[in-house]
Amino acid sequence: MKLLITGGAGFIGSHVVRLFVTKYPEYQIYNLDKLTYAGNLANLSDIENAPNYTFIKGDITDAKFLEDMFAEIPFDGVIHLAAESHVDRSITDPMSFVMTNVVGTVNLLNAAKNSWQANGAGGTSAFDGKRFYHVSTDEVYGSLHNPDEFFLETTPYDPQSPYSASKAASDHFVRAYGNTYKMPVVLSNCSNNYGPNHFPEKLIPLMIHNIQTNKPLPVYGKGENVRDWLFVVDHARAIDTVFHKGVLGETYNIGGFNEWKNIDIVHLLCATMDRKLGRPEGTSAKLITYVTDRAGHDLRYAIDANKIMNELGWQPSLQFEEGLEKTVDWFLANQEWLDNVTSGAYQTYYQGMYANR
């Protein structure tokens, strides 16, 4: 099995690469990543010398590069995670989301299709033994307003931000290639992830970092927005399950049945950090600062993960409180990682995003 994983230097991708490299020594794992601000090879320093691992620096918006790569390496499978992934950045720069998330995904579909058709038997049997797995988000379903409602695989798409619109478009292209060319595709849509290596522009690592450095904790609006949180290693385990057991043409929603209001998470993090840092109870909560809400901020996301649980046997392994403890411990033990990713370009971004809110 020659397996291409895109976006493997990012947050979720690095956990997926690590899982596949260590669990499947008989596979050759190729990690293709452009190394944008969100890509960091330090995330993979523990497995970078594994004999079954190869890193390829490249950009999925470059169709020629992808065609050449597929001509050189006969991949059997693709797990596609490379994306621009931050909603706030999509509001200030939607076009880079169109380029990577939409055009990049179609480039990758074309490269896989063309190489599999060129090297395989004729007709649809060219795709025998191949698999193209597209990793997506629950944000494509839009926002829930009724507390009894959950996102099902059949929920109509209703993306509300440039990020979710670009992911929705990429999902549609993947399904269209499955339908039109009979490509062997499978998809999953997952809820919010958290855990080690999370880039500190996202809620949980941003709060951990700011509590640690005694900076204001910027909470959007009133902090009422609800998200369903899953430990990143459990998402990587789900991706392993879907890649190996998922039925071609199907979509699987992935989530932990674990809904939290943003403000409740921030309070839980404040209490956890006060305890870990030996600060008097209530110290960190004083840093909470309410800032102007994100434009078009979706109120609630909640995944119904029964299909993957019942049909493929996947279950999350960690309760949220345990996962959050592990996450805080990881950030406190990896100060150098945090210092590296919060220097330079990120500081400029941070000032632009929060300084005048």
Ligand X SMILES: NC(=O)c1ccc[n+]([C@@H]2O[C@H](COP(=O)([O-])OP(=O)(O)OC[C@H]3O[C@@H](n4cnc5c(N)ncnc54)[C@H](O)[C@@H]3O)[C@@H](O)[C@H]2O)c1
Among 4, 5, 21, 34, binds ligand X (CB under 6 A): 34
Judged by CB under 6 A, does residue 262 bind ligand X? no
Interface with ligand X in residues 42-61 (CB under 6 A) = 59-61
Q: Is 138 a catalytic residue?
A: yes
Interface with ligand X in residues 189-218 (CB under 6 A) = 190, 192-193, 199
Nearest CA to 189 out of 145, 226, 155 is that of 155
Shortest Å distance, C-beta 126 to ligand X: 26
Q: Which listed residue (163, 194, 220, 252) is catalytic?
A: 163
Output the CA angle 145-148-149, nearest 5 degrees. Answer: 60
Q: Which CB, 33 or 287, lies closer to ligand X?
A: 33
Q: Is 46 a catalytic residue?
A: no
- DSSP states of 11-41: HHHHHHHHHHHHH-TTSEEEEEE---TT--G
Tokens of 257: 């049945």
Among 35, 42, 63, 353, binds ligand X (CB under 6 A): 35
Per-residue contact flags (x/-) with ligand X for residues 111 to 150, judged by CB under 6 A: ------------------------xxx-------------
- DSSP states of 232-280: HHHHHHHHHHHHHHPPTT-EEEE--S-EEEHHHHHHHHHHHHHHHHTPP
CA distance 9 to 42: 8
Among 12, 102, 108, 266, binds ligand X (CB under 6 A): 12
- DSSP states of 280-291: PTTTGGGGEEEE
Among 5, 13, 97, 164, binds ligand X (CB under 6 A): 13
Tokens of 25: 């020594």
Give the residue nearest to ligand X (CB): 10
Task: Evaluate whether 316 touches 303 at the Cβ level (below 8 Å).
Answer: no
CA distance 214 to 332: 14
Q: Where do contacts with ligand X occur on this chain (CB under 6 A)?
A: 6-7, 9-13, 33-36, 38-39, 59-61, 81-85, 100, 104, 135-137, 167, 190, 192-193, 199
Catalytic residue positions? Answer: 138-139, 163
